[in-house]
Structure 1
Amino acid sequence: MALPILNRRHLVAGLGLAPFAIRSVEGAAAQGAEIPLGFVIPFTGATGPYGPDMKKAADLATKTINDAGGILGGRKLKLFIEDEETSATASVTATRKLLEVDRVEMVGGFWGSPPALAAKPLIVGANKVQMVSAAAPAITEGDTKNLVYRFQAKSTQWGPAGAKILKDLGVKKVAVLAQQNPFIVAMVEPFKAEMAKRDGTVTDVVMYNPDQASYRAEVQKAFGPEPEAVFVLALLTDMVAIAKEIYRGGFRSKVLALGTGADADGAFLKSVSPEVAEGIHHLQPAPPLNSISYKKFVKSMGAPDGTVFLFAGNMYDQVCVTALAMEHAKSTEALVWAKSIRAVCNPPGDEADDIAVALERVRLGHDINYIGAGATCDFNDQGDQLNRSFLHQVIEGGKNRIIDVVS
């Protein structure tokens, strides 16, 4: 059973970290000792709506693996989960606690790019694995020691997907309204390049800082010249305020937003009136909605067929990939088992979408290609996930309607 979630305010002030002094469970643990895994997930702040389903998915994967006999001769996984609080500062405090107090063998989760980037040097410095569901390119750049893996599309891929959608909507002249954020800023230039390839024009790029008291001036600057559309790159809190300003201003340009702002697992629709949300298009990375693996995951989450879990599947996969790689490497030492991640995830190998079956095949020495709930879970040499697609939805009558899945 996962331990209760701890807020950073519950921690003892001044908790320090001596990363190179952290002992590995490897060799020191008795046969059958639990293997601690840590996760930093948002439960509060602008990205808080995603946290509960992410935690539920991680708990589900852990229970499934433990009920099937665990790994490495019967050792069970044990989760330690902390609140990211949509904050880089809180992420650092949570990560220190997981590494030094809970002695975890990996730290996963990380919905947001600033929290993931802030925690990265601590995790890599401690020679542990970091798994993220965050998009900023810098997360997997630099000397990661082969310890950082992204269960998400890079933000440089979001921009071109947006350009494809706008082209399909018949838009050629578009402005950009974007938050100053490493996750979001990286989308802008690839978006402009893709628009140019498709004979489109970006008329203006208006940047703003998060948590402003008002976004009226920025909305006026982006929408006032009446472009055919505005690509609004925002998170939930600022998207709510921006959408209200668009409605109050009577602007007629089409709106294509990020699902991180105009969806947030339904939180956006709960925060604005139907008339404010009407007609807003949005996109975000999508799981393989029609795959057998994803449909099994939806059922195991106790959700109706067709439910769209945009980030929970990534959490399920992080736990499963960790277990498979440890089993393959016969080790819980991160510098060792991280080398097995591509061996159990990438082709060639027999496809396996059931974690219990996949673990048994690995124990028998078979080559496998794990197919995850959130994606196919193939990785390049940098640790970036391949073959991601994007879900295009539009809000109509207070509800999201799926239009298409864009590769």
Structure 2
Amino acid sequence: MSNSSVLIVDPVSSGKLYPRVLERYGIETILLDTDHALVSEFRTAPTPGALNFAADFGNSYDLLLKMCTDRSVSYVIAGSEPGVELAERLRADIPDCPAGETILPMRRWDKQYMFEALAAAGVPTLTTRAVPPGGDAVPAEAVAEVRAGRKLVVKPARGAASVGVRLVATPGELSDAVSAITDGAGLFGGASAALIQEMYPAPRVEYAVDTFSTPAGHELVCVSVYDKWVSASGDFVYERGRWLDHDDPVVRDVADYARRVLDALGVRVGPAHMEIMSGPLGPRLIDFGARAHGIGHPQHTHLLTGNSQIHRECEYIAELFGIPVPTAERGTGYALSRHGALVLLSIDREAVYLGGADEELAELPGVLEVRMAAGPGRTYPPTKSMMDSVALGLVFVVADSADELDFRCTEVRKRAGDFFAPV
């Protein structure tokens, strides 16, 4: 397979990291843009050097499949959430291409099928009810629950980056949140069902679990914990993600649960990113992506641990293609060289970015990277999702202790706030 190539579908976010890692092994990569990434604003411009599914293939799957045959594509990567469905379909249709289970593949990208599959496999989940696209009949049980004082979470069955995820506490809020999803086009341009899910009881903590799977089993790459708050409008706003030590007591529990999720969803090869809530009920899946962790997270994981989902997948591809790679012990976990966190910037009211935050934030202790996306003089709405935070900026911070990391992250958020003026 030394002449084989790799196709990367929608190489945006962390997916942009793959080509340069594969290049180290001399592996040819083919990049493919789709309208799903464009409509969702995962990308706003063409990816340099990429083919375009619409312009170059007329959105013809058969023509794309023929290109894969002609150019000896033997492995397909989902470069971001918009590309998962097409990547999964290609894997199943390209001869000898590593793939997940082909029965009900939508359980890996549509949360309605996802939670149904988990329940069928006996994996503990939060109670979830679905309202189909175009529908507005909210289940009576859900209405009764909010009237009884329980809060519920409403989310799109197809989506990413917490877009459209709302916390509701009244029948009116419930109905509005459901309609906003079922009456709209969806994040990727298609119709989406609305899921109504029970709110995990307090005290609760959300973890990100990143894995890589091969026929030999599921490997744990890293676990991080999200710190977040709920805005006045009921939106979930992420403050930061902190990497946890492998020997942290919670890591084993959430990792064991994650492996059950992977088996139930038919994941047999490739990376997966899971968001898992844990507390008095034990671990429960909140969200899942059959692709690497986004927002550039893998490059920071590699800096802290020497490995990442992307580096591991590229190494696995090289092995499949018969390219020698250094031998390493698998499935033994990971070790952090330092404490680290990715701070996601946010604003609680409409504000204009004054510009100039990059240099000042970069000078703060422990700051290793500043990615300001906000444009000077531009006005931004209150932060409602992770994508809103990405549109403002991200800051990677490290420290030698957990307390020192907390202090440094607080200082970053405080300083960053000085560069946004309320409108």
**TM-score, length basis structure 1:** 0.34
Q: Which protein has the bigger strand share? A: 2
**TM-score, length basis structure 2:** 0.33
Q: Which protein has the bigger helix share? A: 1
- Select the structure with the greater relative contact order (CA < 8 A; seq sep ≥ 6): 1
